[in-house]
Amino acid sequence: MGLSSSFSSLLCVYLLSILACSSVDGALVGVLAHKSRHRHGNGGGASEQGCNFFQGSWVYDESYPLYDSSSCPFVEPEFDCQKYGRPDKLYLKYRWQPSGCDLPSYHGQDFLLKWRGKKIMFVGDSISLNQWESLNCMLHAAVPTAKTSFFRKDTLSTLRFEDYGVTIMYYRTTYLVDIVSEKIGRVLKLDSIEGGSAWLGADLLIFNSWHWWTHKGSSQPWDYVQEGDQIYKDMDRLIAFSKGLATWGRWVDTNINSATTKVFFQGISPTHYQGQDWGGSSSKSCYKETQPVSGSTYPAGSLPQQAIVRSVLSNISKPVYLLDITLLSQLRKDAHPSAYSGEHAGNDCSHWCVAGLPDTWNMILYAALS
């Protein structure tokens, strides 16, 4: 996502009190490290253990994938790339290798035993759904004969591993903050988060938002945006995202008891619609890409919304762990459904195949909780 240099300057001024900014190839990036990046509920984190899980590269590993999507009853058509005709399987054979260490081995039954009797909830848009379905498949592969129950109603989907008393939920909310139907139309309220009452009581919360903030036209689910008493027909989407996410941050500080609930933020999931971002041609997208970007850097650099996430997290007093998936996901131009989705027409370079990249997000989640 590109920003003009003039807009980058304006946004830097807007965020000056909380964020140091620099312009790199026209993109706004944060240069102020935030204090929450590697924290979680027990006060530990990857950096404190001498390893940054989020810096590294992808290596070929014949033992991958962790499971076969055809054996998972919880993966939906939009992510089931093999079922819907993807002809290659090389994208399934890559393992994330952090630069300074190895990721701890993932053990699904150990995860279920540690979270026995607990409730885990993913809160966000379809990128959260992507990770939720991945975790469901990973756990099912570990205990394939375990009794499960599955429910879906309105915004809430629930999978329960009955033998372990572990409930894993997905709560769909595209912006975290509320959209309310009023006389003038559908209003996106940047300072209202009444929907948060549905998230209380979970022992682990994994939040996500960004995917829908850029939607315009017929796919935009609101007609106006409101902050306080001010109603706008539209607003710069990065500024709106910053304001909405700050509201979520205040909700965390007000409602979360860190002694009983761990909080993660999923980080920004990138897209691959512009080949020049990874050194390809301007006309190229993720379609027919079969290998990751080599090395440990992404040619297009970081995303401006990453700086906003870090800024908001730095102002939350409660411990929040940033599952900083952006770089490792940027390198996976090959991991999208592209044309091989059962529910998305056209070329999907936003979501991810399952099995695939989201499994690594969950491996890091597992490591961070260990």
- Among 281, 302, 284, 285, smallest CA distance to 350 is for 285
In 3-state terms, what secondary structure has residue 24?
Answer: strand
Output the CA angle 103-78-94, nearest 5 degrees. 25
- Among 258, 260, 307, smallest CA distance to 39 is for 258
| Cβ-contact 200, 117 below 8 angstroms | no
* Residue 38, CA atoms < 13 Å, CB-side half-sphere: 14
In 3-state terms, what secondary structure has residue 311?
Answer: helix
- Among 39, 75, 138, smallest CA distance to 363 is for 138
Cα distance between residue 53 and residue 35, in whole Å? 16
Element spanning 58, H or E: strand 56-60
Among all residues, which ones are annotated catalytic? 126, 348, 351
Query: Which alpha helices (DSSP H) does the chain contain, by range?
Result: 5-14, 108-114, 126-142, 237-255, 304-314, 326-330, 357-369
Cα distance between residue 359 and residue 108, in whole Å? 12
In 3-state terms, what secondary structure has residue 140?
Answer: helix
- Among 159, 161, 133, 168, smallest CA distance to 147 is for 161
Q: What is the DSSP letter of 281?
A: -
Output the CA angle 59-209-205, nearest 5 degrees. 85
